[in-house]
Structure 1
């Protein structure tokens, strides 16, 4: 048996076809025999090679099995083709593979696209009960559930349901095309087959390289019968007993051009205890997000094994244990600057509770390490501390490259690091101006420039959050430097939002009001003695404690802002009121700006 990074191939007989099966993660050692088996089923028009990057990542912990679906890759095709791709026969193939690779233990099933459509059949059919421990569905619905979804909306139409039907109907244009006789085969064996790899690479922003298998034209021509043999019949006559008999994890890319997220609105009815994950990407996640998929599969398989000991009963604790934002942020990589305390630390914790991986950045190594340590305890599957001064351009460049190399491209960037400075314009020295702009503005510019470039190059979207302040739109005679820096951050965020939208990257500016953090204890007051400095810090800290608006509320609003892709998120009543007043009566705000602060 080959090592974990290589695959051993074998052939498995199923009726009149020979299936090509590849196995990773088995070296013949005694402990290998105890590894859970994970079976990955590919979609259309792919072959098993589409899973290679995911399989290599899983092979260190699991016995990983890939197989070419009949008529694809190196597996033989049924004769005749018509009727040879029915879901019942595909179920025969799965059982034959499962019996060959894991005869004594049930397997964990993962499917993408048509592999997921098959997987739903396997996970709900009576004759497969007891052979599947868990099922992870990626970008592929059950045809039975889809049929019930259509019938429900046709029997009980509302404007919203009709719009959902029409929207999914438009997305399914290729299904109609594949039902036409002869033409799909001619197209795939001709120009479409030659152009498909380049088309897919351009649309999905795939890394350079050849298409996973040279048999694409033949695979796609054979695979047209997956649609012809199954779609119309199952949509017209969906099974009434299509209930999952194993825990299910649903992974849906929010940018899928073929499948609406609304298709899964009623899925809890069919899969009790469903765990849902959403990733901002397009359709071909096994190729564009192999690391993300491998992490989610690993987590789900491990949780199922730990909870059920390899049984097929739904395991407790598989849902709702990563916080309310787990569906969106679970497994994503989130970098937070200024994470050693205050809003930054609370934000890192909120993402950790949602199951995100955390990079906690702060100029104080001890507080950054503490944040990372606590983030792991709160549920982050990985959390790392980095010590960086965000105003240092070269240090930020090194950080960006280190994070990309060691952990991957950041999915959510939170530019939160900032310092406070109070004092009139005439009392503020040029050095104080430079320092507050270096941290509050240039720190944000460095983060946006470096990490946004990585997001754009990856081509799978992302999100940037910049912490501004209500001071960005609330003028004050006592905060000219601080307010200027935050107003610049707010405008930078608006400009970036316009520029990066075409790349699927959202930008949100968070504008807190008076929040009880330690920024008041470290803020500087221009033009006063050190003794007066300490008195003013103490008094401002006391006022903020009396106000007592916790940073955890800001973190919650921040996560909601990312979910909604909000442009601006004012937090605290005074921040929302000031923003409304700035729009309705800017003259009143200018009058208030002349007042001395209560210090």
Structure 2
């Protein structure tokens, strides 16, 4: 029996990942559709077309410091482990949002929420498991001033990555980031932090994961035609969430390629971190 979980799954790419997993898996398998609003979670579960794996709704607000660990314990009690985890929860921002105002909530969801998910579910991975964090091509050091690179290459633990994110968050809030070398678009340091967290965890587990066939990676779905993306770019010709989900589902369900471990992967190819 395969057990899968998707965070941020009540709409867009997350919902498409749940539907795609359910369609590709068997009736004896389980896919957990999670989100921070239970009404939206159950509405999303009800929208599933049926057939394939069972889709179960669960409450998971990754901004809650205890929520990921609590759900991980519950899944461990029910199933003994987990096979596929997609970390897709994200706080979206628009062009009119003031980074100083949203910095706390933004990092709590996108960055600290990611590290909480990694800490909670990596120990539960079964042999041949997948732990995939949805990031972006913005999550590479090419988008960051060289003077800042070591902030994301030197950490060797998830806590150290979180410390760097906290320093950046505080600099955004008090204006030092705007006056310094940090990019004005908060997505860039945030996505780099997510990829750095994946790299740190994967490096810690590299040998044992290779022996057990486990893949831990960041994944880039590319541009997607969603209302949020449309606030920033012309996405009229971009893939739908269902189309964008295909390459991510392939990564989760196809045999592991060792070169993907710990890397940011887009359409099956590694995007170099630096």
TM-score (normalised: structure 1): 0.34
Alignment match, 1:428: 99
Which residue matches 1:568? 264
Residue from 489, 507, 519 that aligns with 2:216: 507
Where do 1:438-449 residues align within 5 Å? 438-449=108-119
User: Residues 376, 514 of structure 1: CA spacing in aligned structure 2 closer, same or farther, 3 A cutoff?
Assistant: closer
Q: Scaled by the length of structure 2, what TM-score is found?
A: 0.71
- The counterpart of 1:556, out of the listed 240, 246, 250, is 246
> Counterparts of 2:96 and 2:49 in 1: how far apart (Å)?
43
Question: Match of 1:272?
Answer: none
The CA distance in 2 between the partners of 1:570 and 1:550, in whole Å, is 16
- Unaligned regions of 5+ residues in structure 2, if any? 145-181
The one of the two structures with greater contact order (alpha-carbon pairs below 8 A, sep at least 6) is 2
Q: Distance in 2 between matches of 1:549 and 1:496?
A: 31
1: CA distance, partners of 2:65 / 2:94: 25
The CA distance in 2 between the partners of 1:400 and 1:450, in whole Å, is 6
Shift of 1:396: 2.0
State the match for 1:463 in structure 2.
130
Deviations 1:534-566 (A, max 9, x none): xxxxx627833x133211222111122232433
| Higher alpha-carbon Rg | 1
Answer yes or no: is the 8 Å Cα contact 1:388–1:395 preserved in 2: yes
Q: String of CA shifts for 1:475-532, please: whole Å, max 9, x gaps.
A: 3887532111111111211222222231422112111332112444xxxxxxxxxxxx
Measured against aligned partners, the alpha-carbon deviations of 1:367-386 in whole angstroms (never above 9, x if no partner) come to 32233334470411x22101
**CA RMSD in angstroms, aligned pairs only:** 3.0
Question: 1:393 matched to which residue of 2?
Answer: 65
Gaps in structure 1 of 5+ consecutive residues? 1-291, 293-331, 521-538, 584-599
| Partner Cα distance (1:339, 1:385) in 2 | 10
Corresponding residue number in structure 2 for 1:482: 187
Question: CA offset at residue 461 of structure 1?
Answer: 4.5
| Cα-to-partner distance string for 1:74-132 (whole Å, 9 max, x where unaligned) | xxxxxxxxxxxxxxxxxxxxxxxxxxxxxxxxxxxxxxxxxxxxxxxxxxxxxxxxxxx
**Residues in 1 aligned to 2:94 and 2:228: alpha-carbon distance in whole angstroms:** 12
Aligned counterparts of 2:232 and 2:42: Cα–Cα separation in 1: 25
What is the Cα deviation at residue 472 of structure 1?
1.1
Paired residues, what number? 223
Counterparts of 1:116-127 in structure 2, within 5 Å, are none
SS for the counterpart of 1:543 is coil
